[in-house]
Structures are given as structure tokens and as C-alpha cells.
Amino acid sequence: MSHNWNTETYDTKTGEGFTTRSPTYKNPSWREMTEMTHILGPLHICSLEVARTANHKHSITHSVNMCDTPNKELNEAHFPVGEVVTMMVTGEDNNWRSAIRHGVALMKGGRAFVVHCHAGIHRSTLVSSAILTLTYPSQFPTLKEAHRWVLSHRTIGWKKPDTFAMMEDFVDELRNEASSIEAFDYQKNEIPEAPLPPGRFNRVSWF
């Protein structure tokens, strides 16, 4: 099913509906596009450009990268994925799941980390919402509630029906597993990564 998601609406009172933009969206300024956004606890969101200086400028030493291009920082967990469900190729679903699992482990580990995609608008906000839902189920019982929280901080973030529905399925699938995911051990654990999915198209100019 195709979506004309530029015209879909979001009820700011009930949170119902879908939109590409947060309820508080405004055209992003250069500052907003190039800032490191704190979401909750150790979790931050930014763009690829900002992630490349996360350690030097923000003292953030771990990252979860959702876009094709490496950020070239130490401790980069690279899980490249696309943005349109019908265009995803074999292996991308596992990359989404791996990113969520690693994000939950980093949340439990407690040190500041960043989740990013190319612009810090779509993939990063979606994965961050799943991480919050699975780490703090009493505070965020549903992905919708976590995503609302994320977009209230990362106000340039977007919500898209196909990937949001996909992420809801991933969250439901991982709920039982999440409680057994151990905190990341910064001395012993290796940084996970996934290869670029075969046959994927160039996504570096996407969100």
C-alpha cells in the first residue's frame, strides 16, 4: 500500500494519526540541523555530520549509526537500513532489530551515546523510540508514547506510517527479550555491526 504521507494529519491533543513531522514541527534552522539533541538519560540523537565529532565536541564515545555512510568514530555500531518498507532488501529487518538491541544495552550501560541517521530526522527518532519503549515499559507502554516524547525533544523529527507500523511489530517481538538484555560492558563487550545489505540503493541523501 502506498502512502501520501505528506498530507496525513496528527491530532496534537490525542496523538492520533500520522505525520511526517512532529506536532511542534517548524522548518529547521541550521542550528537545529547541526545540534546534538538530548532525549532521555544517556540517549541522544543527531545527524551524521554531528556524529562525526560526537567524541571531540560532546564527549560521547558510543554511537548507533542507521545510515549507509560510516561516521568513522570509535565505538560505532553500524546498522545500515532504508526508509521505505517496500524498498527494503534482505537483511535490513535484522539490522533494525540489532540496532534496537544494542541501544537497549547502551541505555542500561548508562554512558552517553547517540543514535543517528543521515539527518537525525526519521530512522534515528524511530529507533530511539523503540529503545525507550523496551527499556522503560512503565513510562512508555507503547511506541506511540515513546515517539511522542522523542519528537517533543527532536522537533525536526518525522513519523511515517510504513516504518512506524514495522517498528511496532519489532517492539512487540522484542518485549520479552528486552528484560534479559544485559547492560553494555564497556570493558568486555565488542561493538556490534552489520554489513551493508546486498542490492541496497544509495540512501545517503535521505533523512
Residue 32 has pLDDT above 70, yes or no: no
Q: pLDDT confidence of 201, banded at 50, 70, 90?
A: low
pLDDT tens for each residue of 94-132: 999 999 999 999 999 999 999 999 999 999 999 999 999
Average pLDDT over residues 65-87: 92
- Dist CA 173 CA 168 (whole Å): 9
pLDDT given for residue 83 in this prediction: 87
Window from 21-25, 153-157, 169-173 with minimum mean pLDDT? 21-25
Q: Are 111 and 189 in contact (CB under 8 A)?
A: no
- Give φ, ψ of 101 to 5 degrees: -60, -45
Average pLDDT over residues 177-192: 97
- Give φ, ψ of 152 to 5 degrees: -75, -20
Q: Which CATH class is domain 30-178?
A: alpha beta
- Dist CA 51 CA 63 (whole Å): 8
Window from 55-59, 174-178, 200-204 with minimum mean pLDDT? 200-204
In this prediction the pTM is 0.84
Window from 101-105, 114-118, 141-145, 195-199 with minimum mean pLDDT? 195-199
- Dist CA 53 CA 76 (whole Å): 12
Residue 11 has pLDDT above 50, yes or no: no
- Dist CA 146 CA 125 (whole Å): 10
Spell out the domain ranges in the chain: 30-178
Q: pLDDT confidence of 156, banded at 50, 70, 90?
A: confident
pLDDT tens for each residue of 61-73: 999 999 989 999 9
Question: Which residue bears the cell 564515545?
Answer: 61
Q: Quick one: 31 exposed, middle or buried, by C-beta within 10 A (0-12, 13-18, 19+)?
A: exposed
